[in-house]
Amino acid sequence: MSTRRETSHLPSAGYDEHSLDDFLSNTDAIILVLNPRTMQIEKASRGAVEFYGWPRGELIGKKIGDIELLDEASIRKNFQKVLSSQQRHFFLKHRTADGKIADMEVFVDFLHQEQQPLLCSVMYDTTEKRRSEDRLRKLSLEITRIEERERKQFASYLHDEVGQNLAMMKMKLEAISYSPPAPLSGHEFDQVYDLIDRTIEQTRSMIFDLSPPVLYRFGLSSALRNEGEKICRENGLEFVFTGEEVSSMPDDERILIYRCAQELMRNCVRHARASRMELSLRNEGARIVLRLVDNGIGFDVASLDKNRTYRGFGLFSVRERIRAIGGALTIESRMGEGTYIDLIAPIN
């Protein structure tokens, strides 16, 4: 939210009470004026009266706890944050007169008067926005779930059919080599063995890439370490990983994070020209932060959306998938100074 929006409906620090009452009586904005000592509503705008559904005389005098879905201790804690200037922007749930629950974005500022300062709360109903975000998040996770199910099915087919057939072919070929007269020379048999061995290894690698068993058996941290080591080993990069396991994340979101991290690491290998890649995973209460750092050539972040290279599309894809679950992707990079990417995702 911009600063402009935050202050657009707030009266100035020094105010004329009659002008304020006139303003509140005529504005459609949802505004409540609160007494921080009693936590009671002292004034309400026309928009607030219409939104909450109580008559003005009944709304005024209510305690904020009558409309906020928080216990009194939490409400007092929020008031203290405002009074100490630690926080003036909140996301809360409010109850209306008919019992409906609304998601509210709340901006709070002071109204100074001689007796004691009052608090002016300007609120925006974000219920529909939250519902749209929830629908988008569910759709994104459903797409991830479908993709992963198809990956698992294909990986199972490769393992059960192709992999088994290749192993059987190798065994039969080996049996033929010991049954005179051999149809091929020893050198020719060796070439066929090598070809089958390479095909088996490639198939196994494809199976692990399609459906990594480490992710399902040991968790996100182990899977990221394993994938990072594999990518860097194959491309001659030094790899450093630090992280902790995230046990409370749903499978769908864990898979999405893993796929996004996989794309970021591959993007680094393709475009950064780096010799070193660092990956870290931190658990910060209600969210996780995945950080990828490389010592490569860097790039101009400002032109990322205009850049039609694979790198631009890859990062755009990751950013949109993370946004869909309520997360964010932040990128810091300068030409010749490497790149820092933070992938931030909520833990529900």
Residues 206 and 223 in one domain: no
DSSP 67: T
Residues 221 and 292 in one domain: yes
What 76-84 contacts at long range (C-beta under 8 Å, 24+ apart), as own/partner pairs, is 76/39, 79/36, 79/39, 79/119, 82/36, 82/108, 82/119, 83/36
pTM of the predicted protein model: 0.51
Residues 176 and 256 in one domain: no
pLDDT in the model for residue 221: 92
Print the domain residue range for 167: 127-211
pLDDT in the model for residue 307: 52
Residues 117 and 135 in one domain: no
Range of lowest pLDDT (44-58, 123-137, 162-176): 162-176
Q: Which of 303, 276, 289 is nearest to 341 (CA)?
A: 289
pLDDT in the model for residue 244: 81
Measured between alpha carbons, how far is residue 64 from residues 33, 40, 116, 190 in Å? Answer: 10, 6, 18, 81
Q: What percent of the chain has pLDDT over 90?
A: 39
Tens digits of residue pLDDT in 287-341: 899 999 999 999 888 776 555 454 556 787 788 888 878 889 999 998 888 999 9
- Bridge partners, 106 (sequence order): 90, 123
CA 238 remoteness from chain centre: 27
Q: How many separate domains does the chain show?
A: 3
Residues 87 and 207 in one domain: no
Domain termination residue (choose one: 93, 125, 157): 125
Would you say residue 229 has pLDDT above 80?
yes
Domain termination residue (choose one: 96, 125, 154): 125
Measured between alpha carbons, how far is residue 190 from residues 22, 54, 187, 193, 194 in Å? Answer: 94, 87, 5, 5, 6
Measured between alpha carbons, how far is residue 213 from residues 88, 137, 287, 333 in Å? Answer: 46, 25, 24, 34
Q: What is the mean pLDDT of the chain?
A: 82
pLDDT in the model for residue 16: 67
Residues 199 and 144 in one domain: yes
CB atoms within 10 A of CB 174: 13
Residues 69 and 133 in one domain: no
Residues 68 and 181 in one domain: no
CATH of the domain at 336: 3.30.565.10
pLDDT in the model for residue 107: 93
DSSP 179: S
Residues 228 and 334 in one domain: yes
Q: Which of 340, 337, 332, 246 is nearest to 292 (CA)?
A: 340
User: 3 is written with which tokens?
Assistant: 């600063």
Residues 37 and 50 in one domain: yes
Residues 199 and 298 in one domain: no
Q: Which of 277, 256, 257 is nearest to 266 (CA)?
A: 277
pLDDT band at residue 162 using 50, 70 and 90 as cut-offs: confident
Tens digits of residue pLDDT in 182-200: 565 667 777 777 777 777 7
Residues 11 and 119 in one domain: yes
Domain termination residue (choose one: 109, 125, 141): 125
CATH of the domain at 10: 3.30.450.20
